[in-house]
Chain A
Amino acid sequence: MKHRAIPALLLLLFLTTVAAASTHPSGLPHSTDNDDSCDIALLPAATLLVPWFEVDLASPTGETTLVTVTNVSNQEQVARVTMWTDRAYPVMTFNVYLTGYDVQSLNLYDIIARGQIAPPNGTGFDDAGSAEGQLSDPNPNVDHETCRNLPTTLNPVYVTLMQQAFTAGTTPAFGAHAACTKIGGTHTHASGYLTIDVVRNCTATQPQEAAYFNDEILFDNVLVGEYQQINLGENLAQGSPAVHIRAIPEGGTAAQRAAFPQNYVVNAPQTFYGRFMPAGAPKFDSRQPLPSVYAVHWIAGGAGSFQTDLEIWRDAKTGTAAECPAYAANGTITATELVRFDEEENFTVIPDSTWYDPPIELDSVFAAAGRYTLDEEDINFPAVDNGAVAGWMYLNLDERTTPGARQAWVVASQRAQGRFSVDSDAVALGNGCSPAVGESEATVTEGDAPSIGPAANINP
């Protein structure tokens, strides 16, 4: 930490001792309670995020993503799965009914390529009932009758729509919906991200619709999940926990929380679904916000033919009821700063546009979700100019266009020798409530730019 931050930190600590609504009036941490901070942790959550999926539609032995969701409570729950394009267009939504302690695995190849959701039994509550353990209990907040006989096989029209959306970024005209273009990028493999929310019923309402938060969302931190990215043909597998995003405070239904908002005041400066929230209740979803500044280990080249890909998820720009043309903007979200260090602490940054005559724009630009290989071809990342094969990268993924820092998530996906592969989450340098950070002294060489490093302990 920079030494100059310490006196200010101490001052704040003493000034806020009395004011903080705390379980411990003196000393730190302010709270030792469960589910009572902005820190993203591997704890049961109300929303799970799989930041990137990739499915080779041409081959069942190609790239695919497996997702598992588990209800670790004794009460039945409904998990609403929404599959988004890499430009944050919600293409496909379905529900998973979970009895107490239930587990459901999903192969996205089955869904996107074959139009099958969790074959052969599906994800619903069928006429014959659903397998139920001896200690599973009903949930008075869940309308499980709406989950009876959920479709396992999708209409081919939906399958075509999904495949076009996730590979070409287009959807054909469908019913009352006009055709859409540029709602996603163009990919060899179907690509995007998905969210899983705890909800009270099995409908097709999506997070960008007002009714989703007015009526259907729930706030119980009961879901856990993970994903595996598998390529049978290349003998590669990576996996990681899904991002576990808790509702804080927990509990109640949307109706109860709307009726008694004084019982559910959210201290976080922003929330995960904030862009879909109405102005009158801007943090109604109560989901923890994700951080925007990360540090990630990279290794590329060398004797082991190492390769590091970064899977980057970013909060999109489109809000509730956005029209198709608006989604193109989610394909070009700029970043504040990327700094690439080698193992000798040498660093490089994206060249400033003024380095060139005439100036050229060289900002790092990413889609709402993407997978990027750290090589010399990708100008979004600072180049290595000394032959280094390893180090770490600082990513400040705020866009500096919104009052709070733009949320993000980063996964490092490393491979070697065509046979080894691992995924691991990047380290967040502050939590989702930390204030936005400007360009560092690595980029701004004049004046008093901040140093790169962990966020200060106490936020203003």
Chain B
Amino acid sequence: MRAAGMSALVLLLFTPFSFGAVRGTASPSTTNNDDSCDIGVAPAATLLLPYFMVDLASRNGEQTVFTVTNVSNTEQVAHVTLWTDFAFPAFDFNIYLTGYDVQSINLYDVLTGRIAPPHGTGYSDSEPGPYSVPNPAINLSRCYDLPAEIPRAMLTRTQQAFTIGLLPAAGDAPACTNIGSSGHPLGAAIGYVTVDVVGSCTTLQPTQPEYYTQAIRFDNVLIGDYQQVNRGQSFAYGNPLVHIRAVPEDGPATNLRKTFYGRFQAAATPALDRRQPLPSTFAARWIAGGMGSFETNMKIWRDGRTPANAPCEKYKCNAKLQVVEFVTFDEDENGVGEAPEEGPVCTPIQLEFVTNAAFSARVGRRGVFPYLDNGAIGGWIYMNLANESVARQAWVISSMSAEGRYGVDMDATWLGNGCTEELAESEFNDGTAVIGPASNPTPP
């Protein structure tokens, strides 16, 4: 907080009756479980794997494994969607989970044609435990024999979507181009994954409005984690998935002004998914170079721009998501920032200071992040990933490695929650905003 802000705060503290609704009574306003905008590692209705990378040429290469657990006693269906790095939903499947069930998914298996071999993810292969109970709210009629093997034609389409951003024509569906990036290292498949609790083994996707009226459910019962493993290089990274809760789970409509799946909602029901929104402003540690040959990559997920049922030619817009600013600090508090000179738009596409919906970028080289030319090898980066005058959602993972043998992933700290108002450019980029934690009360 700025000194000026603190003075105002202190003044307010000495004015007992001038506080608004929140501070005039007591804090926190809510002590309830599942009753805030804060993203916690708590059972959720949607899980997000912000970034995956799979080397399709080698089982010993880069792989991403994630696990989904149902921590309730009631059976559930989890709908898994694999999105390209331009936020195109290229492949989806369902997982039937009995009460307290666990399912591990190796994306190498999926993207080479097999979903959770040898048993698959269906009802026929899942024996309920003694305390698992039926869930009367879900329809299991299509969950019995879920396919474990992906047909060859579909597999080719899927691989091309995640490696070169191309979806070949199939049946009545025309070919799609520019639905993802190309030129990936080792020709790897890159994208992100969402896992939603749903009411049936649906073929609907989150980009379809019917997904929210017919399929989605609101029970905060799923937990998950991921590991990014490279056997050839002896690297492993891991982290919890992003746990996005439905608030409320049931009962009255949500108070959330925006939601995780908000861009797919109908205008009349803009928060039907009830999912907590993700933040847009982050602080992430970096370390690069030095005696340990340190390296930091930021794995970044960003909310796309395409709405429900967008035609495929629009997905290239999700490759051009504007950044408000990045500021790189070293350990001596020197800071250097970068921000676009002009406002952003998709049409016409402006190629300045934009990113994909999911990407990984290295710190400490000239490129995506502002470069400190003073020889610093560590510090932190402020990222304001809002754009287009809205606090567009994002997630950041700081992925650090050293000496070619150590690696850790950890979530960046967010500076406000997903309901916090967007922040403009800071003093580092000739703006007026002060970099720091968001203020406590969010304006109504």
Contacts and interface: CB of A to CB of B under 8 A. Distances in A.
Contacts of A324: none
Considering residues B32, B249, B329, B331, which has the most beta carbons from chain A within 10 angstroms of its beta carbon? B32
Interface string A298-324: 000000000000000000000000000
A222 B438 CA distance: 10
A376 interface: no
B442 A226 contact: no
Given A10-B251, A30-B30, A37-B38, A345 B22 contact: no
B41 A425 contact: yes
Interface stretch (B220-228, B312-320, B353-361): B220-228
Contacts of B214: none
A420 interface: yes
A186 B16 CA distance: 51
Interface residues of A, number: 126
B333 A27 contact: no
Interface in B2-43: 2-3, 6-7, 9-10, 13-14, 16, 19, 21-43
A235 B69 CA distance: 30
A414 B65 CA distance: 14
A254 to B, nearest CB: 12
A269 B223 CA distance: 26
A408 B36 CA distance: 21
Nearest to A138: B3
Task: Label chain A's interface by main secondary structure.
Answer: loop
A27 B437 CA distance: 27
A29 B417 contact: no
Contacts of A220: 1
Contacts of B329: 101, 103, 133
B30 A36 contact: yes
Considering residues A32, A37, A434, which has the most beta carbons from chain B within 10 angstroms of its beta carbon? A32
Contacts of B22: 21, 23, 31, 33, 36
B437 A44 contact: yes
Interface in A415-460: 416, 419-431, 433-434, 441-442, 451-459
A287 B406 CA distance: 34
Interface string B222-258: 0101010100001111111001000111111111110
Given A27-B252, A459-B33, A263 B6 contact: no
B435 interface: yes
A431 B415 contact: no
A452 B6 contact: no
B255 A241 contact: no
Top 7 closest A-B pairs, CB basis? Answer: A345-B129, A422-B238, A133-B333, A239-B408, A37-B36, A420-B236, A237-B406
10 contacts: A21-B22, A23-B21, A23-B442, A29-B256, A33-B22, A33-B440, A249-B27, A260-B16, A265-B26, A422-B227
Given A249-B27, A456-B33, 18 more contacts: A2-B74, A36-B22, A37-B30, A37-B36, A70-B380, A239-B408, A263-B13, A263-B23, A267-B31, A297-B69, A345-B128, A347-B100, A420-B234, A427-B71, A453-B73, A454-B34, A454-B43, A457-B35
